Each structure stands twice: as C-alpha cells, then as structure tokens.
Amino acid sequence: MSSEMVDLDDLEVLDVDRSGMVQLLLDFPEQMQAGERLGQSAELPMAANARAIVVAGLGGSAIGGDLLRSYLSQDCRVPICVNRHYILPAFVGPETLVCVISYSGNTEETLSAFAEARSRGAKVLAITGGGQLAEMATQARVPLITVPGGMPPRATLGYLFTPLLVVLTRLGLVPDQHEAIAETVELLRELAAQYRPGVESFRNPPKELARRLYGRWPAVYGVQDFSDVVAYRWRTQFNENSKVLAAHHVFPELNHNEVVGWSGSNSLSNDVWVVMLRDHQEMDRIAQRIEITKSLLQEKAAGITEVWAQGRSRLARTFSLLYMGDFTSYYLALLYGVDPSPVRVIDLLKERLATTA
C-alpha cells in the first residue's frame, strides 16, 4: 500500500481540504483562549449548590463534557455525567446543573434533553452556535453562551469545553484554572508550529504517524480518568476526518477483556496499528500494565506507537495528546484523498429522520 501513498510534504495535497479544516486545527489554541473569555463573561446559572452536573449533548458537542468529567475526576466535589440521549437519568432534579450543548442548536436528542431538564426544575445552562437551542434558551430566560457559528462541531472544542470549565470554577465547584489554561494555550501554539503542513514529515510526528496508519486499523489505548476520553476523541476524529473505522480502549479495563482478543489465531490483528497514549505521571502500576501489554501485542499487531503527553499541568498534558490525534486524523484524511470536513453520512441520517418525524 505504501507505494501508492501521496507525499504529505507536497503542499498540493492540501487541495483536498476544501473547507479549510487545517486552519481550524491551527486556530485551536486561540479558540481555547476565546473560550476562557466567554466563560468569564457568561451569565451564571444559580447552581453553586448543585449536587450533580449533567452535560447533555451528542457527538462533537458531547465530548467537551466527557473531557470535563475525566479531567476533573479528582477535583470536582460533585459527580459529572454525560447524557447522550433524548431522556435524562432519574436523579436529575432541582439540585442538578444541566449544561445543554449543541453546536448547531438543532440536534433533536439534545433539544429533548433541554425540555426535560426544564420540566424537572434543573438549573440549566445552554451552549450553542445558534439554532433552536438558542431560541429555546432565550425564551426560557436560561443562561446562554453563544459561540461563533459556521464550523464543524468537532472543530469547536475550544469554544465548547473551555467556557464550561470556567463556569464551574466561577460557581466554586472546582479550583481556578486560569494558569492551566494559559499553559495549555501556550503549549498548543508550540505544537501547532510543529504539526503544521509546511513542516516536513521527518520532523512532524502526526504526519509520520498518519503514514504508519495508512491502510491499517487504528486502535488507540488511553488510561482511565486521564486519556480515556482523548482515546475516544482520536477514534471519532479518525471516523469523521479520515472516514475510517477505528477502535479505542482504556487501561486498566482493557487488561480484563480486550487483551484476550489479541491472543486468538486469526490474522486480522496483523492489520491493527496500536497507538498508546502515555504520560510521564501515570501510576507505576499502570505503567507496568502498559509495558506487559506491549510485550503481549508486539508479535500480533502491525505496530505500536507511543505518544507521550507534554506540558506540566494535567490540562496541558491532556490536550497535548488530543491535539496530536486531531492532526494525525487530518493527515490520514489527506493520505486517503478525502476532504476532512464534510460528514455527509451524519447529514443524511438527520435528513432522513426529519422526513419521518
């Protein structure tokens, strides 16, 4: 397969990126900074005494909630859960903060969750780029954060995640995050300079990794409550940007099931390239598990690449891993000759559902 591979260092390859996904990737640090400002100026829901936080959304609008849950697992004094469904869990009531996020503002599951949160008397915050959610929130006089519109939802993570984090700090539910956000923005700017298309493959890790993944199945392994959601983000970015199937799993859980899948006799595993998301601060026991798992997979997988988190704060380390995945999925799209931005299958599904309403 590699003989047919296009040359990522020939900038004509960017012609396939007709909607300009690369600029959105490069702008991610600025988006995060703008997201912090949006969170600082937002009207707050009356939720300082909330006993639980629910983030309601789907796809690219839900992942910010997942990242929040994972990132704050040791720091938030109330549970955070993510709801990707029309209906909310039974515990949601007046003492719950429900953050309803839909970038388009028109995702029917999310609109249904908004209506349900209201009818249960929950404290509600809406984050959207417009659409019906903006209208419903305005009509209900619910605090609303409006983010710039016109982008693919998954490329607006800086606008959807950061205000949410800042709102929780302003409510006193988690410690101040300004320093961590500043470090993350700075680090992502440095990484953007290293990962941009003008930097040749031998000095550009996501280009190099995309070449390894070309013609193979990517499987991304993260670590619970640190890079678990990042591994999922890599997978969904491979799906939506590169238009390929991908798998993900999480340590230590994968040592109790998935690892057995590698021990079988079929040869399909030979086409799987494993990406391990590593962190210099991972628990010793987790590091030992990863090393043993690597030794078990070595002979079976097409290959294993370790990607190490960079930066000091937990936030910077998390987003350094995520950013590498975003760029890798982008370069893999270019290798396959597909435009990273459109997600026609999702659009088609939404259209067909609309006609059966």
Q: Is 246 in the site for ligand F6R (CB under 6 A)?
A: no
Residue 63: alpha-carbon gap to chain centroid: 5
Report whether 307 contacts 324 (CB < 8 A). Answer: yes
The catalytic residue among 178, 190, 200, 350 is 350
| Residue 35, number of CB atoms within 10 A of its CB | 27
Q: Which range in 88-96, 98-106, 183-191, 216-224 contacts ligand F6R by CB under 6 A?
A: 98-106
Q: What is the largest CA-CA distance in the chain?
A: 61
Contacts to ligand F6R from residues 103-122, by CB under 6 A: 103-104, 107, 110
Annotated catalytic, 240? yes
Q: Which range in 99-107, 200-208, 213-221, 287-295 contacts ligand F6R by CB under 6 A?
A: 99-107
Distances (CA, A) of 249 to 53, 134, 269: 25, 35, 15
Report whether 103 contacts 147 (CB < 8 A). Answer: yes
Q: Is 343 in the site for ligand F6R (CB under 6 A)?
A: yes
Q: Is 152 in the site for ligand F6R (CB under 6 A)?
A: yes
Q: How far is the CB of 314 from ligand F6R (least distance, A)?
A: 25
Distances (CA, A) of 96 to 40, 47, 80, 162, 190: 21, 8, 10, 20, 39
Q: Is 338 in the site for ligand F6R (CB under 6 A)?
A: no
Annotated catalytic, 85? no
Token readout for 245 is 């199937």
Token readout for 94 is 């007046």
Nearer residue to ligand F6R within complex by CB, 132 or 224: 132
Annotated catalytic, 178? no
Token readout for 255 is 């040592």
Choice from 31, 61, 146, 320 touching ligand F6R (CB under 6 A): 61
Token readout for 27 is 């702008």
Contacts to ligand F6R from residues 222-241, by CB under 6 A: 240
Residues that bind ligand F6R (rule: CB under 6 A) add up to a total of 15
Q: Is 59 in the site for ligand F6R (CB under 6 A)?
A: yes
The CA distance from 320 to 338, in Å, is: 25
Residues annotated as part of the active site: 240, 256, 350
Q: Residues in the site for ligand F6R, rule: CB under 6 A?
A: 58-61, 102-104, 107, 110, 152-154, 240, 343, 346
